[in-house]
Amino acid sequence: MKMKIKATLLLFSFFLVSNATVANTNEECVITLTLFTDAAKVENYTEAYPHLQNLRRDCPDFHLSMYQYGERLYKHRIENAEEDQKMAEYNEYKKLYRERLQYFPEKTKEGTMLADFAQVMFDNRIGTAMDMFDAFDAAYKKDKENFTSPKSLYTYFSLAVDLQAAGKKDVSEVFELYDELIAKIEEEENSLAARITPLIEKQDAGTKLSQSEEKLLSAGETNLRAYSQVKGSVNGKLGILADCENLIPLYNKDFEEKKTDVDWLQSAAGRLSAKECEDPLFFKLVQELHNLNPSSRSAYYLGQLAEADGKSKVALDYFLQSAELETNNNKKADTYYKLGENYRKTGSLSNARTFYRKAIEAKPSYGRAYLQIASMIANSSNNCGDNVFERRAINWLAADLARTAARVDPSVAGNANAAANSYMQRAPSRGLIFQEGMQGKTISFGKCWVGGSVRVPNL
């Protein structure tokens, strides 16, 4: 019995000592982390550095912030290191980031990490241009889903173009990467637009957003602007490489050798189509492609050819086939937009809106489609309403759509905001609302193609 009591007391003493040790360790980690972050926050990295090393040695899994501030510290050290020391600092930076992945895997995305490695290489000119490109290439292929930095997407492509200009990459590789990265950027844009569009509509309806919704909306619009800018930069960097003057001889040279290669035909026809290159080569490519592999793309190109020949009905049939067969949402949206344009030009506004809406469903960031619907609505004001007030009120609908276009698609924001302001100037003034006693009332537009209704603002 005495032995059991002694054993119990010994075990209890062990737990007391262990708990005290853990408590002391945690307290030391808290103090060291505080000293480190206080110095790092004010960019006093000389003072912060030894505290970071102590944290890495003694408290590697204590708190994520040691890695977040540690990454800033090492970026500073790399930037300010002598040339012969940059690689050593860069390797230590990578080691720190991998420690973060080890201890905080649920809060560390490998694609983001690898893209950061590559971006730091580029920003500090560590290695050759090919080394930098290979680092971005490895990051993208390893974890495409989390390779989302607009800056890194542009740098990745810019390096490819520079390497092609230096004779170290084939132009076909640049085109392939361009197609891949534009698709990736548009995928990110569509995802963001789909998330914030309901919030925009909720806000436009006069419903106050919660704090978290406002934060989500603000972040979404900021990121959409960033992706819009980088898409423009990527297109600018591609520059004259993708002009008809360069594309036509390039594809003519390879046509006989590759005219049975479906992937090559699709790529070549797609690029000539995008640039609207009017050349017999385009017809040859399309015919070969449709013979080998009838698809949504070949139907689209045949529609373009029919349209150029003035066969509008045949063209519409081909475009409709193309849209129904297409599985890529961005291409599907472009085809629906094309159909909308054709119907708009013939005055079939209801059909035009149907296809513009289909374009938006496929690609939520399609600002041009919103703008075209807004324009059609505003231009129909004289035919929609029983009196002057109602005919002017339809401009509120047009303005809402134009504002939405600006928010989901920053590339059209300038035109969209100008259009919204123009429509608001045509809408009933506060004086007219008061004079007619219409504040807060609902006006319906069921007697014309527009349909729907609008609520008159309260004064």
Sign of CA dihedral 158, 159, 161, 165: positive
Distance (Å, whole) CA 156 – CA 158 = 6
Q: What is the pLDDT of residue 447?
A: 85
CA pair distance 273, 268, nearest whole angstrom? 8
Find tokens 């047009």 and name the residue.
398
Pairing of strands 453-455, 442-444: antiparallel
User: Residue 150: CB partners within 8 Å, gap ≥ 6?
Assistant: 185, 223, 226, 227, 229, 230
User: How do the pLDDT tens digits run along the chain, 459 residues long?
Assistant: 444 444 444 443 444 334 444 445 688 999 999 999 999 999 999 999 999 999 999 999 999 999 999 999 999 999 999 999 999 999 999 999 999 999 999 999 988 999 999 999 999 999 999 999 999 999 999 999 999 999 999 999 999 999 999 999 998 899 989 989 999 999 999 999 999 999 999 888 888 999 999 999 999 999 999 999 999 999 999 988 888 988 999 899 999 999 999 989 988 998 898 888 888 999 899 989 988 988 898 899 999 889 888 898 999 999 999 999 999 999 999 999 999 999 999 999 999 999 999 999 999 999 999 999 999 999 999 888 889 999 999 999 999 999 999 999 999 999 999 999 999 999 999 999 999 899 999 999 988 999 989 999 887
In angstroms, the CA 316 to CA 313 distance is: 5
- Return the pLDDT at 18: 42
Q: What is the pLDDT of residue 21?
A: 40
The distance from CA 419 to its chain's CA centroid, rounded to whole angstroms, is 24
Q: How far apart are CA 228 and CA 222, in angstroms?
A: 10
Q: Kindly report the pTM of this predicted structure.
A: 0.76
Polymer length in residues for the chain:
459
Q: What is the DSSP letter of 207?
A: P
Q: Which residues pair with 453 in a beta bridge?
A: 444
**Spatial contact of 242 and 179, defined as CB atoms under 8 Å apart:** no
- pLDDT recorded at residue 25: 60
For 149, the token pair is 């930095």
Q: Check residue 441 and report its DSSP letter.
A: -
Bridge partners (DSSP) of residue 444 are 453
